[in-house]
Amino acid sequence: MTSDIPFREIPYLPQKLEVEHREDGCILLRNGQPKRPHPPHMLAPLVYWAATDPDRVWLAQRDPDDPSKPGWKNMTYAEGLARIRELAQGFVDAGAGPDSPVMILSRNAIENALVMYAAMWAGSPVVPVTPAYATLSQDFARLNHIDNLTSPAIIYVEDGDEYQRGLDGMEVGDRLVLYRKNRPSGVTSQSLEEFAKVPTSFVDLAYDRLSEETVAKYMLTSGSTGEPKAVINTHGNIASMVKMIRSVWDVERLEALSDGPQVMVSFLPWSHTYGAHSILHSMTDWGGTLYIDWGAPTPARLPEMLRNLREIAPTQHTTVPAAWAVIATELEQDRELAKTFFSRIMVMAYGGASMGQDIYERIQKVAVDVTGERISLSAGYGATETSPTISNVHWPSDTMGLIGLPLPGCEFKLAPVGEKMECRVRGEGITQGYFRNPEKTAEAFDDEGFYKLGDAVKFADPDNPEKGLAFNGRIAEEFKLANGTWVSAGTVRVKAVEAVGGPLSDVVVCGLNENEIALLGFLNESWCRRKTGRNVGLDELAHDETVRGAVKEGLQEHNRRHPNAAARVSRILLQPDMPKADAGEITEKGYINQGRVQSLRAGEVERLYASPRDEEIIEIN
């Protein structure tokens, strides 16, 4: 344990929590710190930094056509602004405006950012779409649903060859398709070089027309409860949210301690609110430098992620728990990586899902070994509808599972729902609703205008609210066993994976109207290969006795810790593949969609409860 080791200095401002208990059982929470003023729209920070420090690097990426080449391609704030103005002229000439959205199909890349900000400059809402819907899908059902819902006038693809199938699967018609390389066939298209024009006064007029109320983006939900919805994010929503994050920091002290601008290395996709707003636009507002990571915590892309982290020392690192689990293992095994990673970092954070305490302890052990200090590793919390970040742990903490407390500029309402308290929020960063979906919009808000997140929360210490809120499961993921016992799927999921450790990357918790809890288990391929010494696929690893033994032993330990029926696991069936993003089994946040997986793998769930059980089922009790 490292709890007696001091934290590296974290320049947070003092906590000022305001708590109001109401007669209806609701609890209102507000942050007493003032929110920093935000600009009227998302383009203002780019203009500011291009004027204030034009040579500061805004974005950096590997060579897009040969990522194996050494070095980085940098774009300064001045270069970015000039290029955005040229593309904005192209959008103005093409009839940009609030009724002409621009769909983006691209991985994170400099050109993606330029198109995104240029379209918004010209007044067109942006529709960022996860590339999997166009590259991995077999029927393009979600891509066509999004296309029909948002009616984009222009479509951008990074690579015409890579996205040709997706374009063929859509009814593009005579709409303009922009591309970075490889002209797509069968559509009207222009390269970005052809599309960009010398900016005229119309570009300045378009900028002047932008306001807080201008729609910046239609951000798509993960579709965990059906088809994706298009969340309306205005410029004011996002511009306000990033200032909320900065309002709990002593910014001047942070920059002094960081010895320069903020630096991040991130793979989190810009087709999701976390990567697009809490990472990309937050760093833009800071005047920071974002290194675009084309790696990821998967066996195929992990080497690239580690390569980038070995080269670039971040001042902040924010990612999903699945990535932190992989990073923990690599930091333990690679001291040079650990030295670089911890050399400048001020704060680490996670979001998108709960993270186990074991991952935190492993990371801190390496941090203390390398630096003699702990580094704050805390959580942020929010949703696509909240732009996203509405709370975080803005104080030194060594407890995982917290979502923190509200940031300045938003108000929480903890509302009784059954035996739990649902978290609801209102404030400047909250969406006005869903595009072309008044029914779902009406359902999303209560009669006081609070957005209903659907998450249950509780105070970590009921006698001391300033210690923060803890996630207490999804309201929709609560289910009953046949004997009436309530099960919190989110809690069981985190505890089970934590107890097993390395072999499992995630689990789906089953048992609705059954007598016992059972799991569908997804393996951590890199750990299993290393443990077994076998360079084989998941289908073979799922039958490997070493892997199966480790899973069984870990779940037996889980049951010893949690012997009650609401948490005890009876059996698990290891899956021969990973959950499929294009089918909606995982979201872009990186967390598993419990209901969707059980629906698509209904036959596997039936096997868990069939009698007699087949030999692939691992019995725990």
Query: Which CATH number characterizes residue 315's domain?
Result: 3.40.50.12780
* Domains: count for the chain: 3
CA nearest neighbour of 532 among 506, 495, 523, 326: 523
Give the per-residue SS3 of 495-552: HHHHHHCCCEEEEEEECCCCCCEEEEEEECHHHHHHHHCCCCCHHHHCCCHHHHHHHH
Amino acid residing at 369: D
Q: What whole-number percentage of the chain has pLDDT above 90?
A: 81
CATH number at residue 492: 3.30.300.30
Residues 398 and 259 in one domain: yes
> Sign of the C-alpha dihedral, residues 495, 501, 507, 509?
negative
Assess if residue 331 is contained within a domain. Answer: yes
Would you say 288 and 346 are in contact if contact means Cβ atoms under 8 Å apart?
Answer: no
Assess if residue 605 is contained within a domain. Answer: yes
User: What pLDDT is recorded for position 147?
Assistant: 98
User: What pLDDT is recorded for position 596?
Assistant: 86
User: What pLDDT is recorded for position 553?
Assistant: 96
User: What pLDDT is recorded for position 129?
Assistant: 97
CATH number at residue 167: 3.40.50.980
Residues 434 and 560 in one domain: no
Assess if residue 367 is contained within a domain. Answer: yes
Residues 304 and 285 in one domain: yes
Assess if residue 316 is contained within a domain. Answer: yes
Identify the domain boundary among 427, 453, 475. Answer: 475
CA nearest neighbour of 105 among 42, 178, 36, 172: 178
Region of 84 please: left (phi>0), alpha (psi -120 to 50) or beta: alpha
Residues 49 and 165 in one domain: yes
Q: Which residues contact 236 (CB under 8 A, 6 or more apart)?
A: 38, 40, 41, 211, 212, 213, 428
The two tokens of residue 193 are 């070089």
Residues 204 and 258 in one domain: no
Flag residues of the chain having pLDDT under 50.
Answer: 589
Q: Which residues contact 360 (CB under 8 A, 6 or more apart)?
A: 377, 398, 400
Assess if residue 461 is contained within a domain. Answer: yes
User: What pLDDT is recorded for position 223?
Assistant: 62
Q: What is the DSSP annotation of 170-193?
A: S--TT-EEEEEESPPSSSEEEEHH
Residues 364 and 456 in one domain: yes
Residues 22 and 49 in one domain: no
User: What pLDDT is recorded for position 476?
Assistant: 74
Assess if residue 145 is contained within a domain. Answer: yes
Residues 338 and 381 in one domain: yes
Identify the domain boundary among 440, 475, 510. Answer: 475
Residues 36 and 50 in one domain: no
Query: pTM for this one?
Result: 0.86
Q: Which residues contact 321 (CB under 8 A, 6 or more apart)?
A: 350, 352, 353, 354, 355, 356, 359, 590
Strand partners, 106: none
Residues 394 and 490 in one domain: no
The two tokens of residue 400 are 């995982």
Assess if residue 9 is contained within a domain. Answer: no
User: What pLDDT is recorded for position 12?
Assistant: 94
Residues 310 and 337 in one domain: yes
Average per-residue pLDDT for the chain? 94
Integer Cα distance of 384 and 387 in angstroms: 5
* Boundaries of domain holding 488: 481-619
User: What pLDDT is recorded for position 292?
Assistant: 98
Identify the domain boundary among 450, 475, 500. Answer: 475
Amino acid residing at 515: N
Assess if residue 12 is contained within a domain. Answer: no
Residues 240 and 282 in one domain: yes
